[in-house]
Amino acid sequence: MTVYVDSPIWVWAGRKWCHLMADDEAELHRFAARLGLTMHVYQGPPRTSAPHYDITGFERDRALRLGAVSATRQEIVAVFRRVRVKGGKRPRP
């Protein structure tokens, strides 16, 4: 299985962030654990429609060294569409 990471272009809390995604959710969690991430930072249904982790540019560098594949914006969107959970994101009350 492949784990993908896009470029850190999203600015929040003074840092640049990107997405860590995989074709298989179990592989995503295994890789995130190797990266030192906890389930506390996991983004997935019902909060979002596709399982992923938001990571900083620093964490992205480590992810690439651990074997993640750098993905363009178009490639990460394609992964998002493949792993999207139909009806996964629910509106907030």
Q: How confident is the model at residue 92 (pLDDT cuts 50, 70, 90)?
A: low
- Note whether 54 and 27 are within 8 A (CB): no
Q: Which domain holds residue 69?
A: 3-83
Entry pTM: 0.87
**pLDDT of residue 73 exceeding 70:** yes
Task: Look at residue 60 and tell me if it is in a domain.
Answer: yes
Task: Look at residue 91 and tell me if it is in a domain.
Answer: no
Q: How confident is the model at residue 93 (pLDDT cuts 50, 70, 90)?
A: low
Task: Look at residue 90 and tell me if it is in a domain.
Answer: no
Q: What is the pLDDT of residue 89?
A: 63
How many domains does one find in the chain?
1
H or E element in which residue 78 lies: helix 73-83
Mean pLDDT for 4-19 is 92
Mean pLDDT for 60-89 is 91
Task: Look at residue 53 and tell me if it is in a domain.
Answer: yes
Task: Look at residue 89 and tell me if it is in a domain.
Answer: no
